[in-house]
Chains A and B, each alone.
Chain A
Amino acid sequence: MLVQLASMRDAYAEVLLELGEEDSRVVVVGADTSVSIKTSLFGDRYPERFFNVGIAEANMMGIAAGLALAGKIPFVTTYAAFVPGKCLDQIRNAIAYPNLNVKIVSSHGGLTVGPDGASHQTIEDVAAMRAVPRMHVIVPADAPSTRSLVAQACRTLGPFYIRLSRPSVPTIYSASKDVEVGKAKILKEGSDIGIIACGIMVNEAMEAAEALSKMGVSAEIVDSHTVKPLDSETIIRVAKKTGALVTAEEQNIIGGLGGAVAEAVTESYPVRVSRIGVRDTFGESGEHKELMVKYGLTPKEITRAAKHLVDSR
């Protein structure tokens, strides 16, 4: 089967140009990573609405707050290694607290930054941003859904954190209109186990479903791109239908999607939840595929966890 790969960054840069065209309130703030993340394309087209503040993430967030207070819709973008890491205080106090219309889009999230090593591999951002009141947290699975979710964020009042990964990923959504902020998407129906994934792990979950099917296990696959507000309704429905859940994310297993799903089912329909993700440890240098294998972010690990839950019922 021919797998089509596409970059979330490219999709983001393209949709930004469209949003800039349709809404003159859209401005972009960057911190010396604009060429790499390709937001410089926006700067080329709309130089008067593009502000590069240099390597100064805290200032970038504060400036974005001011722009939003004066009626703009700022898109703030740099590597996930620095957002929210270097500016959680500004995000909390200057953006989320006054409920400002700031869209924070981080690129190079998770382990798959690869050879840059642990200092650049962000595995805490989803958990940190989830804990901030009023913040929306979105982790898209592929390029078309990135386009759609970014555009929806632009049209939805309030602060957003959208986390993109670096590698080009297989395209899952044929049309970007299939995704809706706040609504988990059932990509494959199944009855024995529910696999709730976000980001690049959605594709791994789809592969796991094929392997499970060969073992006679029917898996339901859910893209929970919106980690906050979590679509608990869909997740509870899947829990009731399948009786057990596996979560999969390119994040620490603490506090991210796995945490969110566990919290949701524990409160209203307790089932066993097995969390696939980075197991509370730091990464290291390596190619992205090598890292995925070494840190257990693979279809094989998802399959193993799912099979174990099904067998131990």
Chain B
Amino acid sequence: MEEQSIPIGMLLQKAAKIRAHILEMVAEAKSGHPGGSLSAVEILVSLFFYKMRHDPKRPDWPDRDRFVLSKGHAAPVLFSTLAEAGYLPTSELKTLRKINSRLQGHPDHRVPGVEFPGGSLGIGLSAAIGMALAGKVDKKDYRVYALLGDGELDEGETWEAAMAAPKFKLDNLTAIVDRNGIQQDGLTEQIMPMEPVGYKWKAFNWHVLEVDGFDFRQVIDALEKAESMRNRPTVIIAHTVKGKGVSFMEWDPAYHGKAPDKDTVRKLVKTMLEE
């Protein structure tokens, strides 16, 4: 039933456009983090174009659902998604990382729709807990979503936060781990092995779900399950691929923080949007 109502065609189109924006904006900026942006596209599209209650005309609406990008280096995917959703003009995306632009290298409150300045890793889940606690105090039914990088799980604060959310029974909180397997220096399992990731969260008393992070049906189904869970926060481990959609970037740690050149991007975008 639920599955039939998911507008897969529209979501796929949004995802293609957002991937194109990401490549174009980092190429224009000549720097930025395309890899971890491309891996999170379907997650953000599922949230902003299907699951979340939000209104681009009222970014301060007190009852809105909140999205915290803890892995702030994935700024390109957030800005592109916000632009596609109507929070800012898509023409502004090319100002990313440039002087006097609202689009900082790591997102901040200059841009409407950005809920939290996630530049330094490890803080976003804590901030999401604060928002979720405030929602409970105010008896509001908004939900809070936090997107974490898998490399970010190295940060100790993540686990301080992981311990705290179940204590406060934050069933209005959903964490999503972009499990793309790569951090700046290389493969996560070589830099700092973190498997079994799901079991770690389970041991911290979270409701744990694992999905293919590029499959809209799986992602959305998990988001719905998280919402119906009572008294416990949910973490969705979304298995993804860094650099998804660009063959030479996939699984290459070099594209964590490197921009492809404009010519290459032009060709890539053409094929992407034709598909």
Residues of chain A having any CB pair with chain B under 8 Å: 27, 48-49, 51, 53-54, 56, 58-72, 74, 89-90, 92-94, 97-98
Contact of A62 among B115, B138, B161, B168 (CB under 8 A): B161
Q: In this assembly, does B88 line the interface, its C-beta being within 8 Å of a C-beta of chain A?
A: no
Q: Does B126 contact A (CB under 8 A)?
A: yes
Rounded to whole angstroms, the CA-CA distance of A85 and B163 in the bound complex is 22
Smallest distance from the beta carbon of A48 to chain B beta carbons, Å? 6
Q: B71 to nearest A CB, angstroms?
A: 14
In this complex, which of B68, B123, B131 has the most chain A Cβ atoms within 10 angstroms of its Cβ? B123
Cβ 8 A contact of B130, one of A56, A58, A67, A93? A67
Tell whether B129 is near chain A: CB-to-CB under 8 Å. yes
Task: Report Cα–Cα, A278/B123, bound state, in Å.
Answer: 33
- B interface bracket (residues with beta carbon within 8 Å of A): 20 to 34
Distance between Cα atoms of A101 and B124 in the complex (Å)? 17
Chain A residues with CB under 8 A of B66: 70
Contacts A27-B137, A54-B163 hold; do A93 and B127 have CB atoms under 8 A apart? no
Q: Select B62's contact among A64, A71, A93, beta carbons within 8 Å.
A: A71
B123 touches A48 (CB 8 A): no
Contact B133 A94 (CB under 8 A): no
Contacts of A97 in B (CB 8 A): 108, 117
Q: Give chain A residues whose Cβ lies under 8 Å from the Cβ of B135.
A: 70
Complex Cα gap A93–B122 (Å): 11
**Closest residue of chain A to B116, judged by CB?**
A69
Chain A positions within 8 Å of B111 at CB level:
none
Q: In the bound complex, how far is the Cα of B120 from the Cα of A61, in angstroms? A: 13
Of B68, B127, B138, the residue contacting A63 (CB under 8 A) is B127
Complex: A33 Cα to B90 Cα, angstroms: 49
Among B127, B132, B163, B164, the residue within 8 A (CB) of A94 is B127
Asked if A65 and B126 make an inter-chain contact with CB atoms under 8 angstroms apart, the answer reads yes
Would you give 28 A-B contacts (Cβ < 8 Å), ordered by A?
A27-B137, A53-B160, A54-B160, A54-B163, A56-B164, A58-B122, A58-B126, A59-B161, A60-B126, A62-B124, A62-B125, A62-B161, A63-B126, A63-B129, A65-B116, A66-B68, A66-B127, A66-B128, A70-B131, A70-B135, A72-B137, A90-B123, A90-B157, A93-B117, A93-B119, A94-B116, A94-B127, A97-B108
